[in-house]
């Protein structure tokens, strides 16, 4: 699935190369993270009202626009959404139609094995330091304040990942970024297929990744 991911430091020039993103004045790019988890704020890329792409912080765990109660009363899990059913699910269908986003990452983690003896793996792309996952975001008004939040879309695992778990995040090619972000483009189902197995890079991750308090580059290096 995708309940944790990591992101090396990304420069503004990297973002510009991806999407012609205009860097905010006097603002540093997001710092690297090696153990991003649901409930944390992470950067997403989305289409702004003026039509350009903007980088914005959002809470990982989508809160739909119709949710009006305190977050403490939210009992459903929404950090990921199955791409096959997101367009029909009440929590995700509004975002699927109007609020698609990109999630910049360097890879994600998944585990295999029985409870209590699970082995973590770091999964990325060969010769790719950064890439983007397909995501959904929404904006809810909670106790008088706007809350921006997002979810990762998942699909069936490709052959390379299937031995670890049955699902994987939807990975988008750079040539498909603009189409995915276009709110007027409703035929995007073909973008949600599993990424090619031959391009995957899979390596053991450090067991310490199981604790979200651990956040350092050593988590993704073979031990």
Question: pLDDT, tens digit, for every residue of 11-23?
Answer: 888 888 777 777 7
**Domain with 191 in it: what CATH number?**
3.90.1680.10
Look at residue 1 in the predicted model and tell me its pLDDT: 64
Question: What residue ranges of the chain have pLDDT lower than 50?
Answer: 223
For residue 128, what is the DSSP state?
B
Query: What gap in Å lies between CA 106 and CA 32, rounded to an integer?
Result: 10
Look at residue 222 in the predicted model and tell me its pLDDT: 53
Domain count, the chain: 1
Look at residue 116 in the predicted model and tell me its pLDDT: 80
The pTM of this model reads 0.94
For residue 183, what are the domain limits? 5-220
Look at residue 223 in the predicted model and tell me its pLDDT: 42
Look at residue 21 in the predicted model and tell me its pLDDT: 76
Contact 70, 143 (CB under 8 A): yes
Contact 104, 43 (CB under 8 A): yes
* H or E element that contains 92: none
Question: pLDDT, tens digit, for every residue of 128-153?
Answer: 889 999 999 999 999 889 999 999 99
Look at residue 19 in the predicted model and tell me its pLDDT: 73
């Amino acid at each position: 699935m995708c309940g944790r991911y990591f992101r090396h430091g990304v420069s503004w020039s990297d973002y510009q190369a991806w999407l012609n993103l205009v860097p905010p004045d006097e603002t540093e790019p997001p710092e690297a993270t090696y153990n991003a988890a649901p409930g944390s704020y992470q950067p997403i890329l989305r289409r702004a009202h003026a039509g350009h792409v903007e980088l914005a912080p959002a809470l990982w765990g989508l809160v739909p626009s119709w949710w009006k109660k305190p977050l403490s009363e939210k009992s459903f899990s929404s950090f990921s959404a199955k791409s096959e059913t997101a367009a029909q699910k009440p929590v995700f269908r509004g975002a699927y139609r109007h609020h698609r986003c990109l999630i910049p990452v360097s890879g994600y983690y998944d585990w295999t094995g029985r409870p209590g003896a699970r082995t973590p793996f770091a999964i990325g792309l060969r010769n790719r330091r950064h890439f983007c996952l397909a995501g959904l975001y929404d904006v809810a008004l909670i106790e008088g304040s706007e809350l921006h939040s997002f979810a990762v879309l998942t699909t069936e695992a490709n052959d390379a990942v299937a031995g670890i778990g049955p699902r994987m995040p939807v990975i988008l090619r750079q040539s498909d970024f603009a189409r995915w972000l276009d709110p007027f483009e409703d035929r995007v189902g073909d973008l949600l297929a599993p990424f090619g197995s031959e391009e995957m890079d899979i390596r053991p991750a450090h067991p310490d990744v199981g604790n979200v308090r651990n956040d350092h580059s050593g988590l993704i290096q073979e031990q």
